[in-house]
Chains A and B, each alone.
Chain A
Amino acid sequence: MSLARRILLALAAPVLAFVVAGAVASLVLLISGDDVGGFWSVMFSMPRHRNIVSILNTTAVLYLSGVAAAIGFRMNLFNIGVEGQYRLAAFAAGAFAGAAWLPGWLNTIAAIVVAMVVGALWAAVAGLLRVTRGVSEVISTIMLNAIAGSLVTYLLAKVALTTGNSRNTRPIPEGSRVGTVKLFSDSPTEVYGLSLVAIVVGVGFWVLLNRTRFGFDLRASGASESAAVASGVDVRKMVVAAMLLSGAVAGLVGLPSMFSDSYSYGSAFQTGLGFTGIAVALLGRNNPVGIAFGALIFAFLSEQATLLNILAGVSPDIVDVTQGVIVLAVVVAYEIVRRYRVRLEQAQVAGELAGQRRTPLLTEERN
């Protein structure tokens, strides 16, 4: 196959998925009697500077969340618990940084480590249950999400300061906060400093997967557990290690906005990023670059959703529908494109084989 054709085939699946998702969204809007034209003009409107900044910030956290999920997915380990892991981790980091036991930057770094360790340990519970008791990590992580929610609320009530109706950890002292990058002079929103951590994590994930023994073992265990065991991989150890790593990355998800904007964990903390991360990982096929695109697309859709209600009178829920359809359609589209590619390859091979056979026959005849 020519290079152009390969690229075309690689892009075919996502493009197909978006076309289907767009069609479904339009159909839903038509049925509910909403303004379809308005929906599209808002969705395709060029985001303004401040919206671009918000999209970048959201992309960063969705990327972290997506990578956290993908680490497990790469070895058939379905860590559905990123949601609980990042909440518990963000709370721990917020409470730790707010207590200000350490000065300035030391406090920040220690808080980040606390977040990663707490996220990793919470995920490890599911990993250990799986290897020692054979408990499905899907079930245990979902349960752990519910427990994490209640646990955080309970602990927050112990350490929190109450302002009005809001309950927050102590504010992070000014010296320990992380600055922002001002991308545009006219934008009231700025890129959070810790958003850049996403790039580091992305590069690290790529190197880990493709350039280390651990990454090879991870992929091997995912591709075929029995083959991995046969080649000397300790799968039990890999399960726990992958969960630890997945949880540690999940621990970072809540930090960018906390250290650069809200300065505490509390009532306004954003939830749901863990579940969106699963969809983002799926959209990006668990690939470091693919996840980045998935995160960017979901961030873009969410940002436009905020405006949809006001500018077009369309409920922002339609964007949730669209995102859901994209995820479903992408799976179907990948399968269709895969089958098409297989057929194409078979046809090509068959053609070449037929050609080879014919050629000697012809020469014989001539002789």
Chain B
Amino acid sequence: MRRFSKIAAVTLVGALALAGCGSSGGSSNSGVKSASNDVCKTAKGDGPKVGVAYDVGGRGDQSFNDSAYKGLTKAVKELKATCIEAKATTSDNDTTRAERLRTLAEGGFNPVIAIGYLYSPAAAKVAAEMPDTSFAVVDGFSTTLPKTPLKNLNDLSFQANEGSYLVGVAAALKTKVKHVGFVGGVPGPVIGPFEAGFRSGVASVDPSIKVDVQYLTQDDKDAQAAYENPPGGKDAASAMYEGGADIVFHAAGKSGLGVFQAAAAAGDGKWAIGVDSDQYLSAPKDQKPHILTSALKRVDTSVFDEVKTFQDKSLKPGFVSYNLKNDGVGYAKSGGFVDDISAKIDAAADKIKSGEIVVPSDPAKVK
């Protein structure tokens, strides 16, 4: 029996440690009630029945799950849509993800929108099984997987590097010490484009500006440490401010809240740059004066557009690219801190739109 109890003790400690990781991000003092109201429970329209499957992290991440929810809310209000939300679990695999999409489609939900590229293989599989339901994957590559293209499958992809380029330009124009920083969740194809865009944006203004780059974890399966880790984000950003940098851009989901805390703690003249949504708007009062701008990635627009085009019957299968040209990405002006340089940023945006500047998406290819 003693051995049994000892194993139990170890398991319990392990479980507590894991639970601790899980809740570390939950108590962020951002003052935003992002997941408090459920639009799906009260929606009673006769528009499309939308099924949404979230990525790990789910609602309340103040990043792209929340942004998707915002798009969903807009669809409920303007298109009279009804909806249901399904949450991911950390023990997901392709089979459970497929089962989630299948159950949504079977429940009569159409279109079914999956948030996060991890759903790509599952969506490709289920879309082939259920040709009468439209599926879409935000950030996905599902349409590249089937051998023959499916008529009911969309990928909503974002040129995140273009928005990041613009905030890079902003950072380069605003830095007084020629020293800025970047905090990313985990290196790889998801966050890489943010770093690549930011660094090339900075370099386009002044190649001599130093850019610190710090990732919160090297383990691409450790979403907790990467995207739900405000203390880690705070540590990384604090180190950069102490090392002399005066502007830090983050692409780390909820961990970015720690970057804002660090900027506020570092005092006047220190800035942070938000990501995905206009984070100036959701920041608490003491942090607002430190949020220079945000690199926008309009997941909400993509979700809304998907429902709208479905309703109009104008939905086309395949890749839908959201970039500077169609306002799918961009930069935020809230707070008015970049008003004096917005002409220069817009000029850079025009060059990207016209193709004069091609922004790299791989950090290794930034000169």
B46 at the interface (CB under 8 A from A): no
Q: How far is the CB of B196 from chain A (nearest CB, A)?
A: 14
Residues of chain A with a CB closer than 8 A to B221's CB: 87, 149, 153, 269, 271
A275 at the interface (CB under 8 A from B): yes
Q: Does the CB pair A328–B12 fall under 8 Å? A: yes
Residues of chain B with a CB closer than 8 A to A316's CB: 87, 89
B175 at the interface (CB under 8 A from A): no
Given A73-B7, A282-B7, also A165-B94 (CB < 8 A): no
A262 at the interface (CB under 8 A from B): yes
Q: Does the CB pair A302–B91 fall under 8 Å? A: yes
User: Please, which residue of chain A has its CB at the minimum distance from the CB of B19?
Assistant: A324
Tell me what chain A mostly uses at the interface: helix, strand, loop, or mixed.
Answer: helix
A307 at the interface (CB under 8 A from B): yes
Q: Does the CB pair A222–B3 fall under 8 Å? A: yes
Report the Cα distance A57→B94, complex, angstroms.
12
Q: How far is the CB of A160 from chain B (nearest CB, A)?
A: 9
A116 at the interface (CB under 8 A from B): no
A54 at the interface (CB under 8 A from B): yes
Q: Does the CB pair A306–B100 fall under 8 Å? A: yes
A327 at the interface (CB under 8 A from B): yes
Report the Cα distance A335→B4, complex, angstroms.
10
B129 at the interface (CB under 8 A from A): yes
Report the Cα distance A281→B10, complex, angstroms.
13
Residues of chain A with a CB closer than 8 A to B186's CB: 153
Q: Does the CB pair A306–B103 fall under 8 Å? A: yes
Question: Per-residue CB proximity of B91-110 to A under 8 Å, as 1/0?
Answer: 11111111110111001000
Given A164-B189, A261-B95, A270-B91, also A153-B3 (CB < 8 A): no
Q: Does the CB pair B95–A57 fall under 8 Å? A: yes
Contact of A150 among B8, B95, B100, B219 (CB under 8 A): B219
User: Please, which residue of chain B has its CB at the minimum distance from the CB of A223?
Assistant: B3
Residues of chain B with a CB closer than 8 A to A87's CB: 221
B121 at the interface (CB under 8 A from A): yes
Q: How far is the CB of B183 from chain A (nearest CB, A)?
A: 18
Residues of chain A with a CB closer than 8 A to B92's CB: 270
Binds A, one of B139-147, B290-298, B308-316: B139-147
User: Please, which residue of chain A has its CB at the minimum distance from the CB of B103?
Assistant: A310
Given A165-B141, A316-B87, also A267-B1 (CB < 8 A): no
B84 at the interface (CB under 8 A from A): yes
User: Please, which residue of chain B has its CB at the minimum distance from the CB of A323?
Assistant: B15
* Beta-carbon contacts under 8 Å, B161-178 to A: none
Q: Does the CB pair B5–A331 fall under 8 Å? A: yes
B327 at the interface (CB under 8 A from A): no
Report the Cα distance A153→B11, complex, angstroms.
26
Question: Per-residue CB proximity of A244-272 to B under 8 Å, as 1/0?
Answer: 00000000000001000110000111111
Contact of B86 among A268, A285, A310 (CB under 8 A): A310
Contact of A156 among B12, B14, B107, B220 (CB under 8 A): B220
Which of A138, A154, A164, A267 has most chain B Cβ within 10 Å?
Answer: A164
Q: Does the CB pair A76–B117 fall under 8 Å? A: no
Q: Does the CB pair A54–B95 fall under 8 Å? A: yes
B187 at the interface (CB under 8 A from A): yes
Given A165-B139, A278-B14, A310-B104, also A149-B219 (CB < 8 A): yes
Residues of chain A with a CB closer than 8 A to B139's CB: 164-165
B18 at the interface (CB under 8 A from A): yes
A92 at the interface (CB under 8 A from B): no
Given A222-B3, A305-B89, also A275-B220 (CB < 8 A): no
* Beta-carbon contacts under 8 Å, A56-95 to B: 57, 73, 76, 78, 80, 87
Report the Cα distance A324→B13, complex, angstroms.
12
Given A272-B90, A331-B8, also A50-B14 (CB < 8 A): no
Question: Per-residue CB proximity of B190-207 to A under 8 Å, as 1/0?
Answer: 100000000000000000
B334 at the interface (CB under 8 A from A): no
Q: How far is the CB of A111 from chain B (nearest CB, A)?
A: 19
A26 at the interface (CB under 8 A from B): no
Report the Cα distance A228→B78, complex, angstroms.
74
A367 at the interface (CB under 8 A from B): no
Q: Does the CB pair A73–B120 fall under 8 Å? A: no
Residues of chain A with a CB closer than 8 A to B144's CB: 163-164
User: Please, which residue of chain B has its CB at the minimum distance from the CB of A164?
Assistant: B141
Report the Cα distance A327→B15, complex, angstroms.
11
B188 at the interface (CB under 8 A from A): yes
Given A270-B91, A271-B221, A309-B87, also A50-B4 (CB < 8 A): no
Q: How far is the CB of B191 from chain A (nearest CB, A)?
A: 10
Residues of chain B with a CB closer than 8 A to A275's CB: 14, 18
A189 at the interface (CB under 8 A from B): yes
User: Please, which residue of chain A has its CB at the minimum distance from the CB of B126?
Assistant: A188
Given A54-B99, A138-B10, A279-B11, also A331-B4 (CB < 8 A): yes
Q: How far is the CB of A61 from chain B (nearest CB, A)?
A: 9
Q: Does the CB pair B93–A270 fall under 8 Å? A: yes
* Beta-carbon contacts under 8 Å, A191-227 to B: 222
Q: How far is the CB of A50 from chain B (nearest CB, A)?
A: 7
Residues of chain B with a CB closer than 8 A to A165's CB: 117, 139-141, 189-190
Report the Cα distance A163→B118, complex, angstroms.
11
Residues of chain A with a CB closer than 8 A to B86's CB: 309-310
A140 at the interface (CB under 8 A from B): no
Q: List 6 A-B contacts (CB under 8 A).
A: A153-B219, A165-B140, A188-B98, A306-B96, A310-B107, A331-B4
7 closest residue pairs by CB, A with B:
A164-B141, A149-B219, A270-B93, A165-B117, A150-B218, A331-B8, A153-B220
**Sample of 8 further A-B pairs with CB below 8 A, known A50-B99, A269-B221, A310-B84:** A78-B6, A87-B221, A166-B117, A302-B89, A303-B96, A303-B99, A306-B96, A327-B15
